[in-house]
Structure 1
Amino acid sequence: MDYERILVALCLAWTLVQCLRLLLAKRGSRKFPPGLFPLPVVGNLHHLLGDQPHKSLARLARKYGPVMMLKLGMVNTVIISSSAMTREALQKQDLAFSTRSIPDVLRARNHCQFSVICLPVSSKWRTIRKIMNSNIFSSSKIQELITFCQNNSQAGEAVDIGRAAFRTTMNLLSNTIFSKDLTDPYSDSAKEFKELVWNIMEGAAKPNLVDFYPFMEKFDPQRSQRRMSVHITKVLDLFTDLIDERLEERRVSGNKNVDVLDTLLNISQEKPDEIDNNTIIKHLCLDLFAAGTDTSSNTVEWAMTELLTNPDAMTKAQAELADVIGKGRLLNEGDVTSLPYLQCIMKETFRLHPQAPLLLPRRVEQDVVLCGYTIPKDSKILFNVWAMGRDPSIWKNPLMFNPERFWNSEIDVRGRDFELIPFGAGRRICPAMPMALRMVPIMLGSLLNSFRWKIEGDIAPKDLNMEEKFGITLAKAHPLRAIPIPL
C-alpha cells in the first residue's frame, strides 16, 4: 500500500510540475502546438480510450489543427496529421526528426541496441539498410499459395486470405534469408516459429504503462518486457542454430553468396567494423520477419476485401492480367511494371489501409521549431498517415475505394510524394518497403489471375465487414474468408 501511495504521489508531483512549466512557457517566447489541457497523472490519455487511436487523433486534429500536442501520461506527444506539415518535418528537417522513440518492450534482450529500426543513423545502419534493399526473393513460393487455394477450390472450402498470405510471406522471407522454409504446416517447429512471430507482433502492439510513465521502467508493471524477452529469446535461439549450421557448411564447402545470411556473414568477415558479430545478424533477421510478415499479408487481405466489395475493379484487374500476363499464369517481379491498373489498386489500398497508421514513433532530441511551433525536447512524434490518406482537401471522395484516381498520376508510395506515405519518408522510411513492393503485388496479382472469388456464406459485397483492428499493424477485425473458383 505504501508503495502504491508513493507512486501516486510521484505521478501527481511530476504532473503538477509539468503543468506549471507549460503555463510558464506559454507566457514566454515559445509557442507550443495547440492541444487539450492535460489532467493530473493521466494527461490526455483518456481521450484515446478505445481501440482506434488513429481515428481519435484524427478527430482531435480536425479541432486543434494538423500539428497538435497532447500529454500522454508523462510524455509530450506531438501528432502531425497533414501531408504539408509532414513534408516540413521529414523533408526539410529530417535529421531533427530521425531519432526513434523506442517502446519499452523492444529493450527486451537488448534488441533496441542491434535493431535497424532503433539504431541511430550511422555507417552500420546504412550497411544494414542496403542489404535489406538489395536482396530479391524467390517467387517460387507463390506457387505454394496457389496450390493451397486450388486444393480449397476443389473441396469447395473458403480460404482465410490473411493467414494464407502470412504463411506465404513467411516462407518468402525465410527462403530469402536462410534458403529454407520455416512455416511448413506439417512441422511442429515451424508452427512454433509462426506463433512466436505472432506473439512478438502482438506484444509490441499492446499499450504499455512504461511508455507513458517512463519511471516505471525498472518495475515492468504489466510484465510486458518480461514476456517479450521470452519470445525473442526463443527466436534468437532458432537463428543461432541456423547460423551455426551455415557456418559449418561454409567451413566444409567454402563461402557462398546465395541468400541474405551469406551476405551478412561475408560482411562480418570482410568489414567487421560494420557488422562485428553474429548477434547483430540475429537481431536483423528478427527485424526482417517482424517488419515484413504482418504488413504484407494484411495489405493483401485488405486489397482482396476492397476488390470483393468493388466487383468492377476486380473485373478490370483480371482483364488486365489476362491481356498482359495470360490467364492462369503466376506473376514475377518483372511483370508488375506492365500492370498499371494493378499498381493503382495497390496505391489505393495503401491510401485507405496504411499498415502503420501512425508510423513508428519518433523523438526529437532537442527543441525543434516546426512551422512556428516549438516542439519540446524529448517529445514523441506521431505521423497520422491514416488521416492523411482520408484528407478531403487532397482526395476527392476520400472514403471511396477508387483505383482510377491514380491512373496517369505520378504519385508514388516511396516517400517522395507526401500525399501518400504508407511507409513513411526520409532517413527512417520503413525498411520493409522494398520487400512489400515486391511481394504484395505478386501475391495479389497471382490470386486474381488464378481464380474468381466469392465471399464465404454468400454475403453481399456491401455487407462485408470492414472494421479495423488497431495494433502495430492495421489488420481486419474480422478475417476475410473467400472461396476460390477456377477461372
Structure 2
Amino acid sequence: MALPLLLTPLAIIFIIIIIIILSHTIIQRLRFKLPPGPTPKPIVGNLYDIQPVRFRYFLELSKTYGPIISVWIGSTLNVVVMNCELAKQVLKDKDQQLADRHRNRSIERLSKGGQDLIWADYGPHYVKVRKVCTVELFTPKRLEAFKPIREDEVTAMVESIFKNCSIPGNHGKSIKVKDYLAPVAFNNITRLSLGKRFVNSEGLTDAQGLELKQIVDNGVKIGASLSIAEHIPWLRWMFPVDQAAYDSHVARRDRLTRAIMEEHTLARQQNGAKQHFVDVLLTLQEKYDLSDDTIIGLLWDMITAGMDTTVITTEWAMAELVRNPRVQMKAQEELDRVIGIDRVMTEADISNLHYLQCVAKEALRLHPPTPLMLPHKANASVKIGGYDIPKGSNIHVNVWAIGRDPAVWKGPLEFRPERFLEEDVDMKGHDFRLLPFGAGRRVCPGAQLAITLLTSMLGHLLHHFSWSPPPGVKPEEMDMTENPGLVTYMRAPVQAVPTRRLPSQLYKRLPA
C-alpha cells in the first residue's frame, strides 16, 4: 500500500507561488493584446533562451515576430521595439507614460531609491534634478569653460602614445588602444565633476583615485552577482542578498564623495566658488532643495556614465578606421587641409572638420554604447504599434538595430561616413533613425559633451598618427564582436600600430 504524499510547508508555499505566477501570466495574456514573441516557460519565462548579446538576439527574434516583440524575463514582461517609427511612439508620443525606471535590488540601494537622475522615476524629483543638469551643469557656457581640461587630457593621451612608440624596440609594434583612451575619460570626468586629477604627470594614481577606481569596479561586481530572483520577485525571499556587502559599498562610496565635498566647501570659503560640478551642486543645494544623497547620486551618475561611453565609442571608431584605410586617409586629408602639420588640433577646429564629424556620427550609428538604452518602465498601460503595454512592463529601444535597419539606411553594415554629408541627421534625440543618446524626457543631458570629446579624441589620434592592423593581421580579420552587457565593449580590444605623422615637438602635452 502506497504511503500518502506528505507536503512540507515549504513545498506548499512553492506550489502556491507557482499557481500565482501562472495565473498572473494567463490573465496578462487574456486581458491584453501583447506583442508577439517566443513562448515563455513557467516561472523563468524566456530567461534561459536569451543569448548573452541581447540586442543581437532581439534583432534575430524580430525576423520571426516583427519589429515589436514580447520577451518574459522571469515574471516581468519586456517589450523591445526595433524600428524608428515604434521608437518615436515610445520616446515621444507615449513618453510620459513610459518614463519610469526599472531598478533591481543593487540599483535600488546604490541610487537610494532613485534619488539621482539616471534611476529616478519620472515625477517632481526627476524634473527638478533634470533642470539642475540642463540649466546649471551642462550649459554651453560651462562646457566652454572646461575646454582647457578636455584639450589637456587629449594631448596627454597623444604624448603617452608618442612616448611608447619612441621606446627602442617598440617601432612597428601594436598597442592596445583602449589603454590610452580610458585615462582620458577618467581624468576628464573626475576633473569636470570632482575638480580633481587623481593621476599625476608620471601616470601614477593617488590614494583617492585608487579608492575611486576600486569603488567603480566593486559596483560592477555587485551588479553582476545578482541571482535569478531579481527577475522573479516572488522568489526573492529564497535568495537573500548580502545586505552587508551592499551597505559596505554604499558607505565606502559616500565616505569618499563626502570627503571630496568637504574639501570643496573649505576651498570655496577660502578662494570662492569654482566651476566644477561638485561646487555648482553644493552652491545650489539650498536653491533647489537638493539632499546630500541627491548630490552624491548626480556626481556618480556623471562618473559612471562618462567613463564608459566615450571610451567605448572611440575604440569602435578606431577599429573601423583601421579596417577602412580609405576613410582614415580621407579624414587625415581633411585634418591636414584645415589644420596643417605645424600645429595641433583644438576644439575650435571641429566646426570646420565636417568629415571628421561624420566619422564620429557613423561610429555612433553602428556602435551605440548603450545598444538597448537603459530600460524604460510603464507607469500606465498604453498602446504601442497596436499592442498593449501593461503598466509595470519594461520597454527597450534597440537603437543598435535601428542604426542598421536596411529600410532606413543604404548599405547599413558599411562604415561610410559620407552618408551624413549627403543628408544631415540629428543625433541628439530629434531624428529617431539615430538615437545614441536617447530621446524625449530621458535623453542624455551630457550628449554635447560626449560628442565634443569623442570628435576631439578621434581628431588628435588621426592627425598625429596613421593606424594599421598588427603585423600579420588583415583588416577583415579583426574581431568586431561585442561583449555581453549593458554597454558594448569590444570582445577583443582593438590592437593597432601607430605611425607618427607630425613634427616631434607637436606631441608634447599642453597643460591647462
> When the two structures are superposed, what TM-score results if normalisation uses the length of structure 1?
0.91
Asked if residue 177 in structure 1 is aligned to residue 196 in structure 2, the reply is no
Paired letter, 1:390 = R
Distance 1:352 1:33 in 2: 26
The answer to whether residue 176 in structure 2 is matched with residue 160 in structure 1 is yes
| Match of residue 251 from structure 1 | 269
> Following TM superposition, by how much is the alpha carbon of 1:237 offset from its aligned partner in structure 2, in angstroms?
1.8
Offset from partner CA, 1:89-146 (integer Å, 9 cap, x none): 2122211111112233211244343211122343422333214422323221112111
Secondary structure of the residue aligned to 1:382 is: strand
Aligned to 2:509: none
1:382-393 equivalences under 5 Å are 382-393=396-407
**1:18 corresponds to which residue?**
24
Q: Secondary structure in 2 aligned to 1:430?
A: coil
Kindly state the Cα deviation for residue 342 of structure 1 after the two structures are TM-superposed. Answer: 0.9
Q: Secondary structure at the match of 1:407?
A: helix
User: What pairs up with 1:285-300 in 2 under 5 angstroms?
Assistant: 285-300=299-314
Which residue identity lines up with residue 279 of structure 2 in the other structure? D
The TM-score normalised by the length of structure 2 is: 0.87
Quote how far apart the aligned CAs of 1:295 are: 0.6
Number of aligned residue pairs: give it.
477
Q: CA deviation at 1:286?
A: 0.5
Is the counterpart of residue 322 in structure 1 residue 336 in structure 2?
Answer: yes
Aligned match for 1:355, one of 346, 350, 369: 369
Q: Aligned to 2:138, which of 113, 128, 133?
A: 133
Mean alpha-carbon deviation: is it higher for 333-342 or for 153-162? 153-162
> Highest CA radius of gyration, 1 or 2?
2
1:71 corresponds to 2:72: yes
> How far apart, CA to CA, are the structure 1 residues paired with 2:292 and 2:249?
19
Give the letter for the 1:214 counterpart.
P
Pairwise CA distance, 1:397: 1.8
Which moves more between the two structures, 394-403 or 188-197?
188-197
Where does 1:269-308 land on structure 2 (aligned, <5 Å)?
A: 269=286, 271=287, 274-308=288-322
- 1:315 and 1:154 map into 2 onto residues whose CA distance is 23
- SS of 1:369's equivalent in the other structure is strand
Give the Cα separation in 2 of the matches to 1:284 and 1:450. 36
- Bigger mean CA deviation after superposition, 65-74 or 328-337: 328-337
Name 2:380's counterpart in structure 1. 366
Q: Report the equivalent of 1:200.
A: 219
Pairwise mapping of residues 83-98 of structure 1 onto structure 2 (< 5 A)?
Answer: 83-98=84-99
**Kindly, what percent of the aligned residue pairs are identical?**
30
Any gaps of 5 or more consecutive residues in structure 2? 1-6, 502-512
Distance 2:480 2:58 in 1: 20
C-alpha separation in 2, matches of 1:300 and 1:18: 45
Work out the CA distance in 1 between the residues paired with 2:492 and 2:300: 27
Contact 2:464–2:500 (CA<8 Å) still a contact in 1? yes
Q: Which moved more, 1:5-14 or 1:82-91?
A: 5-14
- 2:431 aligns to what? 417
Cα 1:457–1:121 change in 2 (3 A) is farther
Give 1:19 deviation, angstroms: 3.2
Q: Compared with structure 1, are the counterparts of its residues 319 and 170 closer, same or farther at alpha carbon in structure 2 (3 Å cutoff)?
A: same
3-state SS of 1:268 partner: coil
- Aligned partner of 2:154 in structure 1 is 142
- Give SS of 1:151's match: helix
RMSD: 2.3
Corresponding residue number in structure 2 for 1:32: 34
Q: 1:342 aligns with which of 338, 345, 356?
A: 356
Quick one: distance in 2 between partners of 1:61 and 1:338? 40
Give the C-alpha shift of residue 363 in structure 1.
0.7
Q: Partners in 1 of 2:289 and 2:339 — Cα distance?
A: 42
List runs of 5+ in structure 1 lacking aligned partners: none
Equivalent pair of 2:68/2:385 in contact (CA under 8 Å): no
SS at match of 1:152: helix
1-side partners of 2:432 and 2:104: how far apart?
Answer: 26
Corresponding position of 2:507:
none
